[in-house]
Amino acid sequence: MTHTTQSNNDLLLTVSDLKKYYPVRRGILARVAAHVKAVDGVSFSLQRGETLGLVGESGCGKTTVGRTILRLLDPTSGEVHFNGTSVFALHGEELRQIRKQMQIIFQDPFGSLNPRMTVGGIVMEGMVAHAMHPKTERPERAQALLERVGLSREHFFRYPHEFSGGQRQRIGIARALAVEPKFIVCDEPVSALDVSIQAQIINLLSDLKQEYGLSYLFIAHDLAVVQHISDRIAVMYLGKIMEEATSEELFRNPLHPYTKALLAAIPKGVPGEKAKRQTLPGDVPSPLNPPAGCPFHPRCPQVMEECRSKPIERVEQSAGHFVACHLFPASAIGSAKPAGAAG
């Protein structure tokens, strides 16, 4: 897996072998007894103007990936390059500057807005922090943004508690856009919202992407939503990416048994065709004590002997379709193709 042949002009973000471990301390001396491997060797890349969906069940590490890229969490190891700059090597003013280009929209529209600040204050906070625009112009810009995300100019003077969940998510989007970022991590932006409101927010995010030339890392557990908005999708399980492909390819031709199980588990919404569900046995194991070999092997219907001990490796099975599974060994097909070439 090399990026050497890739022309770097189109690449906005590359993540290489990212790891984030949390120490677990025990005893009176609080010695490190073990590590929770929340993210355990994740690699992917994102092109300009592209949306990469990151899906997985709770606790798989998808949120940690997003936050580590933005340096909201410190990585254990690995590299993240944004626009050719190594994000983990930056400090102080340089880090502040790059953060202006990378924003986040949070899942919880209630917990993520400061209840003591007006909506205007929230949206302008980033402009103030980055000394953007003359002071007198900021309110006008903030109000224009509020209008753009489907709120009205008068909302500038109101407080977050006066708004519904969907409206608050719009405030969060305006806040992220205020500093004119190139890249936004959308961390479960619609999962706390009602179905009819979800569609409104998803359409808004699609429109804004076109309009401002944004790239998204779209983190969610709802495959139907992720498929709708993403160009490519990466499926995570226990800190690792199991499969990555364009969203059409992933749904048409899923390779990893976990991806297949995820797709099969989703209710199809077609009554009268009550085919026996193919349920996956067992629970998601704790990341504190992940299974050896392939982390999915205890639940895998196609488990083989080597899965129990041999670590999995990411292999490019066909152009742009990556899979980490012993059913698809590296030797079977040339894996030297450039990463993300299908985007």
Partner 1 sequence: MTTAQTNPLLEVRDLKTYFATDRGVARAVDGVSFSIPPRTTMGLVGESGCGKSVTALSILRLIPSPPGRIAGGSILFEGQDLAALSEEEIRHVRGNQISMIFQEPMTSLNPVFTLGNQIMEAILTHQPVSHAEAREQTIDMLRRVKIPAAETLLDQYPHQISGGMRQRVMIAMALVCRPKLLIADEPTTALDVTIQAQILELLEDLQEEFGMSVLLITHDLGIVADVADQVAVMYAGRIVEMAPTVELFRNPQHPYTTGLFRSRPSLGRKKARLDVIPGTVPNPTHFPEGCRFHPRCAYAVDDCKKTDVTLQNISGEHGSACLLGQRKELQLQPV
Nearest-approach distance from CB 93 to partner 1, in angstroms: 41
Q: Is 110 in the site for partner 1 (CB under 8 A)?
A: no
The span of 35-43, 131-139, 198-206, 326-334 binding partner 1 (CB under 8 A) equals 198-206
Q: Which residues contact 15 (CB under 8 A, 6 or more apart)?
A: 42, 43, 44, 45, 65, 69, 78, 79, 80
58 near partner 1, rule: CB under 8 A: yes
Is 119 an interacting residue with respect to partner 1 (CB under 8 A)?
A: no
Q: Which of 230, 136, 140 is nearest to 178 (CA)?
A: 140
- Is residue 300 close enough to count as binding partner 1 by CB under 8 A? no
Q: Which stretch binds partner 1 (CB under 8 A): 65-73, 76-84, 153-161, 271-279?
A: 271-279
Q: Which of 2, 5, 164, 302 binds partner 1 (CB under 8 A)?
A: 164
Instruction: Please count the residues of this chain forming the interface with partner 1, following the rule CB under 8 A.
Output: 45
* Residue 76 falls in which region: left (phi positive, over 0), alpha (psi -120 to 50) or beta: alpha
Q: Which of 28, 30, 195, 336 binds partner 1 (CB under 8 A)?
A: 195
Binding partner 1 (rule: CB under 8 A), the pick from 16, 206, 318, 335 is 206
- What 3-state DSSP class applies to 207? helix
Q: Is residue 124 within the footprint of partner 1 (CB under 8 A)? A: no
Ordered alpha helix ranges (H), the chain: 62-69, 92-101, 119-129, 138-148, 165-177, 195-212, 223-229, 247-252, 257-265
Among 277, 292, 301, 332, binds partner 1 (CB under 8 A): 277
Pick from 94, 154, 162, 194 the residue near partner 1 by CB under 8 A.
194
Determine if 233 is a binding residue for partner 1 (CB under 8 A): no
Residue pair 327/259 in contact (Cβ under 8 Å)? The answer is no
Q: Which of 202, 235, 300, 342 binds partner 1 (CB under 8 A)?
A: 202
Inter-residue contact 323 to 249 (CB < 8 Å): no
Q: Is 132 in the site for partner 1 (CB under 8 A)?
A: no
Whether 263 contacts 254, CB under 8 Å: yes
**The binder of partner 1 chosen from 6, 227, 318, 335 (CB under 8 A):** 227
**What's the one-letter identity of residue 331?**
S
225 part of the interface to partner 1, by CB under 8 A: yes
Report if residue 272 touches partner 1, rule: CB under 8 A.
yes
Q: Which of 90, 199, 303, 327 binds partner 1 (CB under 8 A)?
A: 199
User: How far is the CA of 76 from the CAs of 33, 79, 121, 290, in angstroms?
Assistant: 17, 10, 35, 18
List the structure tokens of 258: 């976990």
Establish if 146 lies at the interface with partner 1 (CB under 8 A). Answer: no
Distance in Å, CB of 172 to partner 1, minimum: 16
Q: Which of 294, 173, 323, 166 is nearest to 235 (CA)?
A: 323
Residue 169 makes CB contacts below 8 A (sequence gap 6+) with: 105, 109, 189, 190, 193, 201
User: Should residue 288 be labelled a site residue for partner 1 when binding is judged by CB under 8 A?
Assistant: no
Instruction: Please pick, from the candidates 203, 253, 302, 309, the single residue that binds partner 1 as defined by CB under 8 A.
Output: 203
In the bound state with partner 1, the residue whose beta carbon lies nearer, of 243 and 316, is 243
Closest CA to 39 of 84, 73, 90, 2: 73
166 binds partner 1 (CB under 8 A): yes
**Cα distances (angstroms) measured from residue 12 to each of 15, 68, 206, 229:** 10, 16, 18, 18
Q: Does 158 bind partner 1 (CB under 8 A)?
A: no
Contacts to partner 1 by CB under 8 A: 57-58, 164, 166-167, 194-200, 202-203, 206, 221, 223-225, 227-228, 247-248, 251-252, 261-272, 274, 277-281, 283-284
